[in-house]
Amino acid sequence: MKIGVMVNNLEPDRLRAFDVARQLGFDVVHTSALPEAWLVGPKRQEYIDAARASGVHIAAMFVGFDGQSYADIPTIRRTVGLAIRALRPHRLEVSRQYSALAAELGVPALATHLGFFPEEAEDYRDLVLTVRQFAEHCAACQQMLLLETGQESAARLLQFIHDVEHPALGVNFDPANFLLYGVAEPVAALEQLLPYVRGVHCKDGVRANQAGVLGTETPVGQGEVDFPKLLQRLVRSGYSGPLVIERESGDRKREDIIAARAYLQALPRVEGIPNH
Ligand code: MG
């Protein structure tokens, strides 16, 4: 398994980030969401040119939207993802624009945080239909659509995947999110989601000590994620995609990412994991 990086954690300047990744020895990346204007405006071509010039492989492009904020759980509930009903038609259109951009760059997967599933049945059904439409669009472009884990339990996410029922649908497994949102133990969640895992984030964190509050992200290896066990399970399952380091907070993201790579490389060798 190759070790990749969430490229915009490494370098926030989107036009420089691909090259920074390359210089630091990463040749596989995931990309963070773009301002919506970049998907249709003049920046689009600059972004494509920067990605191509670097030669790095984008394994998945994250789809996100203007106005999203992860400040706290109520704000996430109000602003994040296709879950927001009033914005859903617009955001589906934006999602299709991501898909076109990904196709142009030869990216095999889109990924997204759906946000919190609606409680109301009709709203939930509408989200299921919307995600199915997006998955159909991705499939027509030879792309997978990966759902980022962690806002809900593995069982709840599995139910949603079964409700959408589309072969292009998979999971980007982020172990830390299960802890940050306080919904599951990551290795147990992996066990349930394994058949759908097509991407992995190596991110770490600790649970909050009260309900309804986000936990705290930590550098990889310093939180509650059992990475040795997690990677062992992934290898045994035949997962062969990249392990993508994600570091969303802190003021030493680049240093933390380099240290995370060293940590992952130094883990006891598991049969099937080349140590690079
Ligand atoms: Mg993640």
- The predicted pLDDT at position 269 comes to 60
| CA–CA–CA angle 179, 184, 185 (5° rounding) | 80
- Distance of CA 79 from the midpoint of ligand 1 (Å): 17
Count H helices and E strands in the chain, helices first. 11, 10
First to last CA, the chain: 8
Closest CA to 195 of 177, 175, 173, 225: 173
- Rounded distance between C-alpha atoms, residue 137 and residue 208, angstroms: 38
- Distance of CA 160 from the midpoint of ligand 1 (Å): 19
- Rounded distance between C-alpha atoms, residue 144 and residue 138, angstroms: 6
| CA–CA–CA angle 203, 133, 65 (5° rounding) | 45
The answer to whether residues 170 and 147 touch, using CB atoms and an 8 Å cutoff, is yes
- Distance of CA 29 from the midpoint of ligand 1 (Å): 12
- Distance of CA 65 from the midpoint of ligand 1 (Å): 16
- Distance of CA 246 from the midpoint of ligand 1 (Å): 6
Q: Record the tokens describing residue 193, joined without a space.
A: 């989601």
Q: Record the tokens describing residue 65, joined without a space.
A: 């939207």
pLDDT at residue 275 greater than cutoff 50: no
Q: Record the tokens describing residue 188, joined without a space.
A: 């147990």
Going by pLDDT thresholds of 50, 70 and 90, the confidence category of residue 276 is very low
Going by pLDDT thresholds of 50, 70 and 90, the confidence category of residue 4 is very high
Average of per-residue pLDDT across 38-43: 95
- The predicted pLDDT at position 154 comes to 96
Q: What is the pTM of this model?
A: 0.95
Beta partners for residue 206, in sequence order: 216
- Rounded distance between C-alpha atoms, residue 182 and residue 208, angstroms: 7
